[in-house]
Chain A
């Protein structure tokens, strides 16, 4: 795999996304401009309905924007591509395959040799502490274990960019922190570009180089907050909490707009 062009791994220019629902048009995203540098970890943060998952799906190539352009690894995005591996909130593991087969899937699709696949899969399983579970089926794993498998499966295709859609949202707090640390370790080791969607303020601060706060409907970039605290970050430190207060204020404004919209009232 050739190294991505230095500078921006993902360029999003003037992206707009409109859904037709019940004969009405719903503007999910509007005027999104964002660049993600190679090797950067960016969190998209906002209340539900702010279009952060829509933006991630557009970057992944699952649903193209109505207007605007997305460029990934130097090429315009038109379809899912092997340079952008996705990790889903629902894990999306193939339940009929064992852990090992799941992780091997992307390599088998590539048509690699049996021995090469075996070596790569073995290394990934041990990196994510899954070696003892290689012959299990997903139904026999806990949520945290399943997400480890999903991360291993995404890493297997060696994409320079990882797209993660609220991957730890369904996990309990301890498992989530554990996997966040795991993700940071892998990120530091492999130098991936990561776009991470979350509605967790603390999660975004714990992980990101920059937090992109999005507005509620239409989804636009409200504010980009750089987080320069050294890692590992201490969520109880005053600096962390200063940022957390700032982010909370920004997100709460949008959360309130969201709630007013739900009630059918105009925001004051």
Chain B
């Protein structure tokens, strides 16, 4: 049964790859437009491998293994995602808690939020470059902007949807306002907040690729645009696959973290 299921789920990808390989080998399309998958794989391995042979006299084995172009690009992109997300979510979380818990703050700030929220973060690129020049600063700005709104909106919704019965129970047990906020409202809002975090990281990952294509000269997004300039379409595709794998890794990690943090929550199996 398992083998049959595995065969079914692999059938289409394997056939597609075989067809692609055949088309390329037959010479029906220019390798610049569509290189063969085998060629992409070779290029990907070269991209991922260390540029220099290992010198046993110096450095650790791990540093050497990660000294290739791809690990360095991936590290640059992921560092930007992590930093930008930390800034964006770090601002959105307290603001969202405040807006959710205090109607006055909500009424004051909600119009501005509603005006800014529908502008895609990518539309801020020209302003970001004017304000921050090129390099990491505009990238961090754009990524934090991309992470900010999903986390903010979900945190507000989370706090506003806290079941009043928990607040009653906590007050009845003697909790003051601060305890109520810290030990009841925040954990009760956590399922919403974490959903926002997951969306926010997804947006941050999209934005980092675009920002690297335009404003920065390192990272996975920069690399595939650079490869296009040399017509290295095999490297473009190798880079795209790497981006996909990094995104998959981030989402899988988030999913596991969510499952653990929400192990108390109905419908989530730890």
Interface set of A (CB-CB < 8 Å, partner B): 60, 62, 79-80, 82, 84-86, 88, 90, 92-97, 105-106, 109-110, 137-139, 153-154, 157
Contacts and interface: CB of A to CB of B under 8 A. Distances in A.
B263 interface: yes
Contacts, number: 65
B166 A94 contact: yes
* Residues of B contacting A: mostly: helix
Contact of A82 (B174, B179, B184, B266): B174
A139 B183 CA distance: 18
B173 A96 contact: no
Contact of A139 (B168, B169, B188, B265): B265
Nearest to A93: B169
A153 B166 CA distance: 13
A139 B175 contact: no
B266 A95 contact: yes
Interface residues of B, number: 21
Interface of B: 165-166, 168-176, 179, 183-184, 187-188, 190, 263-266
Given A82-B174, A139-B264, A88 B187 contact: no
Contacts of B187: 94, 96-97
B257 to A, nearest CB: 15
A92 B168 contact: yes
B172 A96 contact: no
Nearest to A105: B173
A109 to B, nearest CB: 5
Given A139-B265, A153-B173, A86 B165 contact: no
Contacts of B169: 86, 88, 92-94
| Residue among B166, B172, B174, B266 having the largest count of chain A Cβ atoms under 10 Å | B172
11 contacts: A80-B172, A80-B174, A85-B172, A94-B188, A95-B266, A96-B265, A97-B187, A109-B170, A109-B176, A109-B179, A139-B266
